[in-house]
Amino acid sequence: MKGAEWKARARGGDVLLGTLIVSPSPAWPAAVEACGLDFVFIDTEHIALDRERLSWMCRTYASMGLPPMVRLQGQDPCDATALLDDGASGIIVPYVESAEAVIAMVGATSFRPLKGARLQAALRGERVEDRLRSYMQDRNQHQALIVNIESVPAIDQLDLILECEGLDAVLIGPHDLSTSLGVPEAYDHPKFLEACEHIFQKARKAGKGAAIHHWLGPEAQVRFLNMGANILIHSADILAFKQTMRQELQQIRALAGLSARHSANDDLSI
């Protein structure tokens, strides 16, 4: 799948399944390809990846038909265009709380390579030559724009955010959203679940994809689908390794009569 198909399916309500990829190992993409995913999520906000390695990851997964959706460290449009130059199929913008922040990123994803005063004029709605507009539409057709909805102020501004032309999907960040709601990491709290459903329903009504990244198991993911989500980022490669290895080591210890060991929880907190 290429970015244009991903965008159409996201906006159209098709269910799309991805996961967070942490490992940059050259051996990893072949294993990921065999999992049956629709796309991959790469996070530069919370994970240390240099530009060359990130570009290799993006181009490798894209060549496998797994569009890489990459989260920025912040909200700088120049960083977004750099990631697109490096092979990202989509940009995820963290902690967006206003339509203005979305519009700035639309300039990076839909109007690329236009810059400077001409870009600002185009974003204000001033006329763009037909030839130039056609050129930009063709060049940017495979590039998605997704914004994180992670706070109460973002929910308050959600209608205006969803009105932005060029926005393809919104993505709930559970840890930040639950914290902003005053119920940190309480992912079964009615306040958190009501906020998620509100965001999902608003996004789908506006013709945008409704996404969430979560790691608490298939039942939780299906609940989000039933609430209106159509894009799920399920867990992470590092968590899948941790959970499987921990379970099997516990079984070995139990079968061998060895003492059990305590292990940490599975919250990614991102």
* Domain regions of the chain by residue span: 3-237
**In CATH, what number does 3-237 get?**
3.20.20.60
pLDDT at 17: 98
Quick check: 73 pLDDT over 80?
Answer: yes
Is the bond preceding 113 in cis, omega lying within 30 degrees of 0? yes
Name the nearest CA neighbour of 4 among 114, 190, 200, 168: 168
Residue 239, classified by CB atoms within 10 Å of its CB into exposed (0-12), middle (13-18) or buried (19+), is middle
Over residues 162-184, the mean pLDDT reads 98
* Alpha-carbon dihedral 110, 70, 186, 97, rounded to 10 degrees: -30
Cβ-contact 141, 235 below 8 angstroms: no
- pLDDT-wise least confident of 4-18, 58-72, 85-99, 108-122: 108-122
pLDDT value for 267: 59
CA gap 172, 98 in Å, rounded? 15
Cα four-point dihedral sign 215, 217, 221, 226: negative
Is 263's pLDDT higher than 80? Answer: no
**Local confidence band at 259 (pLDDT 50, 70, 90 cut-offs):** confident
Predicted TM-score (pTM) above 0.75: yes
Q: Does residue 266 register a pLDDT over 90?
A: no
Task: Assess contact for 147 and 160: CB atoms under 8 A.
Answer: no
pLDDT band with cut points at 50, 70 and 90 for residue 200: very high
pLDDT at 172: 98
Token pair recorded at residue 119: 């870009």
Average pLDDT on 120-149 reads 94
What's the average model confidence in pLDDT over 145-162?
Answer: 98
Question: Alpha carbon of 103 to those of 31, 63, 96, 145, 215: distances in Å?
Answer: 37, 29, 11, 10, 30
Length of the chain: 270
Place of tokens 């501004």: 157
Residue range 147-167: average pLDDT?
98
E-strand ranges in the chain read 16-20, 39-43, 68-71, 90-93, 144-149, 169-172, 209-214, 231-236
